[in-house]
Structure 1
Amino acid sequence: FMDRLEPGSVEYNVPSPMWFDGPVDVAALGAALGALVARHEVLRTRLVAGPDGVAYQVIDPPGPVPLPVVDVSGVAEPMAAASCLVEADAAEPFDLAAGPLVRACLVRAGLDRCVLVLSMHHVVSDEWSERIFWRELSALYRALRAGEPDPLPPLGVQYADFAVWQRSWLTGDVLDGQLAYWRDKLAGAPVLDLPTDRPRPPVRSSEGAAAGFTIPAETADAVRRIARANGATMFMTLLAAFDVVLARYCGTDDVTVGTPVAGRTRAETEDLIGFFVNTLVLRADLSGDPSFAELLRRVRETTLDGYAHQDLPFEQLVDALVTERDRSRPPLFQVLFSYDPPAPEDDNENTRLADDRADSHPGWDTGSGPGPDAGPSPLRVKTDLGVTLVDSGRALIGEIQYSTALFDAATIDRMAGHLAVVLEAVAAGAGRRVAELPILSAAERRQLIADGDGAVVALPGVGGAHDLVAERVRQHPDAVAVVCGSRLVTYGGLWERAGRFAGLLRAAGAGPESVVGLCLPRGIDLVAAVLG
């Protein structure tokens, strides 16, 4: 639906480039890609619209995967040139009907420096799938380079099998029950009205940026203790703290946030590449100024209920609950929150993606990427804000992705600081009421005190704002009073316009204490009418 609503959009592209050092066996790498695509049918799948307009899957037969090689080692700045190719690939849309929905290119930036430029469409992949992709590509590449047979065990099922099962299971009473739960849970949920730095554009922009921050290990350890003491997970505890920040920002006690879930509730899906991830809409109730412990209890209950009803795809929930699409904002929620727990040391299935990639080739670089001479890849965001906290086992590593059409970087940095302050306060004890939790940093508090510590100035003895404007007209009639786009008006000109409005109002019968309605677009005439 989104692909047809916004043709050519790259919002759901999943770029996954990998820089590496050392020689690369291009033939082995190309063969490994082909074997991986042959292994997972979803990577050979296209979505073609039928006569009724509904898309259906078309699975193409296995075949070689093109792996063009581009050599930029001879240009003046090869690393920057390679990074530009990565960005260009990320900005190239996929054709869901024509396919393919995965593409690769090898870029040489030097004798021992290359980047594998890889992109997939989100419809065939998710974060879990990326880890599988890199792990299996690693194993296949090593085997092919060494002349060994395919080391991967055959798959018992394919993504299409899961799709058929889900479609047949999620019907009748099961579907009705899931829909009924979410209808009741989200009934009357308000739009989260975030204070933005700029007016919201009529059509949402996917252009974004990201800001990183860290929650110190001492605070993180205390929050872990709070979670255990209240029978909650770290995800629930961190989400409750973030709900406090959003409630304070938006002046509300009803906060709705989206969160991703893996969607792999059956063991057969754990080794499959495909789009399994689902999004839950979690609504927090902060009414009655509860203690943080009570808020955490509410968030825990809501989260567990959501997990129990996670099988309804988010797209179906939107179709059922959203009768009229607002293209200026995402449906049902505007803020996404996720938490990545520390990976068990003995569980290779859940190691970080960088570890999976690093194991694949002794020269693959999981560190700084292309280096300081190449800029960051462009970021596409699907929500106004997206907060991720990664648990390193000690500190919490945070990132806020945000829409640059709405927010400035400084605003997001302050928000990250406010979340850190709330977590620090929660770490000191969960018994404090939500309204008592501080949100301002020490520097912000000092600034507020300093701003209010100036000399006392007597208020002018005037009867209203019009008297202040009149005095300004007398002193500086040629000074600019109002600017609207490319138009401006001086205080003298504004006073003259206001006088004409006042004459019209008097002629219409208006006088002192009369209530007069104004219906004018924002601009110079509106200011003059208010003054008149």
Structure 2
Amino acid sequence: MNELSHREGATLFMTLIAALLALLHRYTGQEDILLGTATAGRNHAEIEKLIGFFINTLVLRTDLSGNPSFCELLGRVREVALGAYDHQDVPFEKLVEELQPERDMSRHPFFQVMVNFQTTESVELTCGGLKLTPQDPGEQARFDLELHLLLVLEGVIVTLLYNTDLFEKSMIARMMRHFETLLEGIAANPEARLSELPLLTREEQEQLRELNQTSSEYEHDKCVHQLVEMQTARQPEAVAVIYGAEQITYRELNTRANQLAHYLRRRGVGAEVRVGVLLERSVDLIVALLGILKAGGAYVPLDGGSPAPRLRFMLEDAAVTLLLTRRGQPEVLTQGDVVYLDEGWEKFGSEDLENPVVVTSADNLAYVMYTSGSTGQPKGVEVTHRAINRLVRNTNYVHLEESDRVAQVSNAAFDAATFEVWGALLHGAQLVGIQKETMLSPAEFKREILDQHINVMFLTTSLFNQIAQTLPETFTPFRYLLFGGEASDPRSVRRVLESGKPRHLLNAYGPTESTTFATWYEVEEVETGARTIPIGQPLSNTEVWVLDQHMQLVPFGVMGELYIGGEGLARDYLQRPELTAEKFVPHPYSAKPGARLYRTGDLVRYLHDGNIEFLKRLDQQVKIRGFRIELGEIEAALQEHLAVRESVVIAHEEMAGDRQLVAYVVRDPNVQPATEQLISQLRSCLRARLPDYMTPSNFVVLDELPLNANGKVDHRALPRPDTARHITEATFISPRTPDEKQIAEIWAGVLDVGPISADANFFDLGGHSLLATRIISRIRETCGVELPLRLLFDFPTVETLASQLAAAQHRQTDAGSIAEMLETVVSLSEDETKTLLERKEA
């Protein structure tokens, strides 16, 4: 290191500073790093021999952008250090006074890492007959990190002090090993770029590779429908699907799917042909999915609750010319044929009952599922048969059996349905459908689980939290309960564990591009003070890698982007080659030709036990109630309104676990509708184009968006959403009846808004299906009346819901009177009954 310093015209201190900056850069990804260091302050001859404290603190600010070589970085550090030394007489306090940084008592105003360098260590000093011996004041860290470098004859002694509130001892020990590895790499090849310098020890590299040894045997060369046919041959009379009062056996399911498949074949469906499916959860839905696969095609599931223009775009983008649906669903196919499955299966009655000849392989397309897109339109993710098999067959996170009863609670257009439907049918288990209204009522949900003997289920984290807060014992009967889709709430998980945990409680993670799940973590306990639940380790035949911005491995405990590999990866984005190339990248740690990794955009870190912890997103993608949302798609829709000049959408979390979308818009000065009118127009426009879950709960109209020093929107400076929701005196209608006042009060408490007008719409105030469940529960607790959840969707204003509440109370009163009358009649003697009847006749 001395030779390198001399060759580059730098001091050893500068070289070690550059090495520390390289380490911090690799740990944090930051390219603008500030360090603190101290100077003796005795650079004038007049004060060299004076007794006193002249030490001053210097701030060294270094630019690490552009992935420079170490020698380049050392040159930058040299210039920074010489510049600082030239101005070392400026008191640090003067710097703070002039720049006025934002002050925080928990941290230093300019830097959190301090570096001190000493070239001598006087073991013993004498002064006027006094003997002075250095005393260790104890390891008291004054900064987040404090690096002391002591130059001795044998080398440099490095001491690292750290804030124990922020770092664990094991983490600091690893950091010191990485610093040593980095120094060795610098000495060996100082011309290497920062991203190329070694950081991890050989043992750590082997440990990370070992975590990805997940290979297991499964039917990787079979198609999904072939595996269903194998189950049918094994147990033809076993019940396969149950929806309400309707159920069919595996033989019936296979036969009906065969007939549909032969019909579709005659309509031109074959390998790689995409067929639209617009059906609610039902037996017909499962027959349709299986029939399409048997025909050789790929299904494109659609959510009937989405706006018709959005559905039309998906069908056109996927080149769908045949749609399977039922009467009452939106008319969305502009070109092609529509087959209505509710018009009777007679039209397929003449079709062959036998399994069609297989025309596909495991590499062929099984389905295309659309997710939110940042460009303003949704994007289609293409998934193969092999990827589905990898998800559910001979895997490590669940072991499904023929005796299991798997719930389908997900819409077919939500990728959790892949686990539910094929997890059940590829194991000979029973798939049990649950209606949405039942799912959103904790009491009915609990009753349905017991009545149907359901023992396997996946829930979005939001719905899991909702039930955990009200009836946590609901989950006790489960063999496997999986939750996921967004960051978990440790408090809700703890309530479930304390109330009687299911046999296996799993936190499952994975984007649509990795076929539903990529990692899993079995929750046995929740530590006190836990902020989240780990997302765990990879599924069988799946790889997960935590890499930095240059796709280099990051150490345990260090944040990096999560990359997913293995046989669960989607094929690509439909008709989006540029996006596919951006997100599905060559695998740098695989010897398999053509191996790829998917860039998730999720920032995570490895914990000491090898489990992965989710931290945050790299981009604007958010998860709301389990739905994946690209904020850019909402912003693009807002910008199409003539009155909007600029817009930004954020996910705002007012209460823990309850994230809501907030839209900030700057209106065009040439188009000036009133604020309330503009918000109403924007809400209507978004609802006509986007699903309900993508419509912001709140809109804030600004004169301009706050910008930071780089000219970008400063999200931290955006004003807090106004809970009054732009209600003016001219439009406010005070609740009039006792029922209206009661409902308004309940809404205000649940939605955290106010005041609430009698004509206010629950969903315009930020309400959604999960909050609707809380409203119905509060009405039951407060008014003693059980209202169906559907009423709030059909009568979403205070005044209309109040009228339904009054009617329900009246019916309940009538029912009570009749019950009292019947009790009286039952208690009458035979003579009393005869007397009453005679009076009636008279």
* TM-score, normalised relative to structure 2: 0.29
- Greater C-alpha radius of gyration: 2
* TM-score, normalised relative to structure 1: 0.45
Bigger RCO (CA 8 Å, 6+ sep): 1
